[in-house]
Amino acid sequence: MERRPADDASPPAVAYPAATVVLVRAGPGGLEVLLTRRPDSMAFAAGLQVFPGGRLDPADASPGLTARASGPRDDPDFHLAHRIAAIRETWEEVGVLLADSPVGAPTVPGTTAGRPEFADIVERFDLRLRTDALVEIARWTTPRAYPRRFDARFFVAELPAGADLAPDPGEVAGHGWWTPRAALAAMAGGEIAMWPPTSTTLQLLERATSFAQIRAGLARAPEASIVVQRIDPGLAVVTGGSAFGPTGQPANTVLVGGREVVVVDPGDPDEDVLDAIQAEVAACGGRIVAIALTHVDPGHAAGSEELHERTLAPILVGPGGAAALSWDVVEVGDGAQIGRGDGLVVALATPGHRPDHLAFLTGDGTLVAGDLVTDRPALVLPPEGDSLAMARSLARLRGLLADGTVRRIVPGHGPVPIAPPSGSSPT
């Protein structure tokens, strides 16, 4: 989909409320997700692999449907109408009904032309809509530069026992069950194509082993207030937003430089967070010349594509990091110089948390550490994590602290900056 011309001063298009559902099931190779391929004739996302979903319908908030919801009806954080829309869209697109019925499951015709209206099915079979069976994990809003925009909440739901798919051929040209890792590998190999919200969601889920684990560990936290903290001239940290993330503690986005700024880890794709980053740079009379990622986990990388579209600044990642992303990046290695002037940083290969992990050293001895150092113990997660590599990276950091090369550390999460006493462990 084409962006609007840069000189188009007209108001941005309305972002319509929408809901997306990631259906999951247990498979022989681990947790699998359903991906559907959009027909090439579609005006939106033609030919791409997507999850079922679509715009909210006014009826999704009607008393007749909300009265049949299994979750709270007066909790704004539950987003009841979005959940009902998610259930309806899953029914309409792939014929899976996330509902209980005392009179037996309805038969699902194979096409929308023969498929009864959702509200009629709900009434006829006295359905209880399983809005409580949906776990919200993310929220994505189409950037303002696009002529067609959606404000979509992403939910995960488990495929009901015994359920069969009956895709609507008008909306689904093909479908398949993939492990998240296999789907990302197919994308990297050019076999399938996805937009960033889809590929990022797969990244979020690639370490999950069950739906219960998703519910316990990946449910989206309430959005956090956006905070800009100026540490020194030429060093600021932006936090907040939480387009996704279970901890309520989004990654630190670090701005290095005054005139020539390198933005490290713009992890939140929320447009208000990106606005705050650009406003802080502009307030200092600077411009963004590079976007550097300590690693490509979603919480550190997901806002980089839109920030690049806004600024045309290149996105730099560590070795092998490009394979997980559905947008263009440049891989760099140990010792690479990124940016220029007062925003110059040097990349330090610090694998462990992920093999592509980098830290960035500024001219004044500040280390932007990513998840090499956080306010929690050193984090090594399968399948990419490597404990031995992490130990070597931490040993390298201790050496840089001991010889005075690193004077302070800006961690990937938590309060900033850290100024460890000489000889102390960074973990």
**Band of pLDDT at residue 376, cut at 50, 70 and 90:** low
Q: Are residues 90 and 197 in the same domain?
A: yes
Q: Are residues 243 and 136 in the same domain?
A: no
Amino acid at 182: A
Q: Is residue 7 part of a domain?
A: no
Question: Looking at the DSSP assignment, which residues form a beta bridge with residue 23?
Answer: 157
In the prediction, which pLDDT does 418 show?
A: 76
In the prediction, which pLDDT does 422 show?
A: 47
346: CB partners within 8 A, 6+ apart: 335, 336, 337, 338, 360, 361
Q: Is residue 69 part of a domain?
A: yes
Lowest mean pLDDT among 90-104, 252-266, 289-303, 334-348: 90-104
Which pairing describes strands 99-100 and 128-129: parallel, antiparallel, or unpaired?
antiparallel
What secondary structure does DSSP assign to 326-384, as a single string?
SS--EE--TT-EES-GGG-EEEEE--SSSTT-EEEEETTSEEEEETTS-SSS----TTT
CA geometry: angle at 144 spanning 141 and 148, to 5°? 75
Distances (CA, A) of 127 to 162, 316, 411: 17, 50, 49
Using CB atoms within 10 Å of the CB of residue 285, give its burial: 0 to 12 exposed, 13 to 18 middle, 19+ buried. Answer: exposed
Which token pair is 378? 């050193």
Helix axes 180-188, 196-205, angle to 10 degrees: 140
In the prediction, which pLDDT does 358 show?
A: 98
Q: Are residues 54 and 84 in the same domain?
A: yes
Q: Are residues 187 and 231 in the same domain?
A: no
Q: Which DSSP letter does residue 406 get?
A: -
Question: Looking at the DSSP assignment, which residues form a beta bridge with residue 27?
Answer: 30
Q: Are residues 196 and 237 in the same domain?
A: no
**Among 76, 85, 96, which Cα is nearest to 18's?**
85
Distances (CA, A) of 245 to 43, 67, 297: 31, 30, 11
* CATH number for the domain that contains residue 355: 3.60.15.10
Q: Is residue 123 part of a domain?
A: yes
Distance CA 192, CA 204 (A): 19
**Band of pLDDT at residue 364, cut at 50, 70 and 90:** very high
Q: Are residues 182 and 236 in the same domain?
A: no
| Contact of 329 with 308, CB cutoff 8 Å | no
Q: Is residue 422 part of a domain?
A: no
Q: Are residues 213 and 252 in the same domain?
A: no
Q: Which residues of 156-171 are buried (b: 16+ CB within 10 A; e: fewer)?
A: bbbbbeebebbbbeeb
Mean pLDDT computed over every residue of the chain: 89
Q: Is residue 240 part of a domain?
A: yes
* CATH number for the domain that contains residue 33: 3.90.79.10
Q: Which DSSP letter does residue 142 get?
A: -
Which token pair is 377? 């113990």
Q: Are residues 186 and 303 in the same domain?
A: no
Q: Is residue 5 part of a domain?
A: no
Q: Is residue 255 part of a domain?
A: yes
| Contact of 406 with 245, CB cutoff 8 Å | no
Distance CA 67, CA 61 (A): 10
Query: Which residue segment(s) compose the domain that 334 sits in?
Result: 227-411
In the prediction, which pLDDT does 107 show?
A: 53
Q: Is residue 262 part of a domain?
A: yes
- Predicted TM-score (pTM) of this structure: 0.90
Distance CA 87, CA 215 (A): 17
In the prediction, which pLDDT does 243 show?
A: 74
- Scanning the structure block, which residue is given the tokens 């033609």? 46
Distance CA 271, CA 140 (A): 9
Q: Judge whether residue 304 has pLDDT over 90.
A: yes
In the prediction, which pLDDT does 296 show?
A: 96
In the prediction, which pLDDT does 137 show?
A: 94
- Looking at the structure of the chain, the number of domains it has is 2
Q: Are residues 167 and 241 in the same domain?
A: no
Where do the DSSP E strands lie in 60-173?
A: 99-100, 128-129, 135-141, 149-158
Q: Are residues 37 and 161 in the same domain?
A: yes
In the prediction, which pLDDT does 110 show?
A: 41
- What's the rounded mean pLDDT across residues 275-283? 96
**3-state SS class at 174:** strand
Query: Which runs of consecutive H residues, i.e. helices, occur in 152-295?
Result: 180-188, 196-205, 211-217, 271-283
**Which of 187, 217, 247 is a domain's end point?**
217
CA 89 to chain centre: 21
Q: Judge whether residue 417 has pLDDT over 90.
A: no
pLDDT digits (tens, 9 = 90+) for 141-168: 999 888 889 999 999 999 999 888 989 8
What secondary structure does DSSP assign to 11-63, as a single string?
PPPPEEEEEEEEEEEEETTEEEEEEEEPPTT-SSSTT-EE-SEEEPPGGGGSH
**Among 363, 335, 332, which Cα is nearest to 235's?**
363
- Scanning the structure block, which residue is given the tokens 């972002």? 15
Q: Are residues 146 and 289 in the same domain?
A: no
Q: Are residues 262 and 193 in the same domain?
A: no
**Which of 156, 185, 217 is a domain's end point?**
217
Distance CA 242, CA 136 (A): 12
**Which of 185, 217, 249 is a domain's end point?**
217
Q: Judge whether residue 379 has pLDDT over 60.
A: yes
**Among 231, 227, 276, which Cα is nearest to 257's?**
231
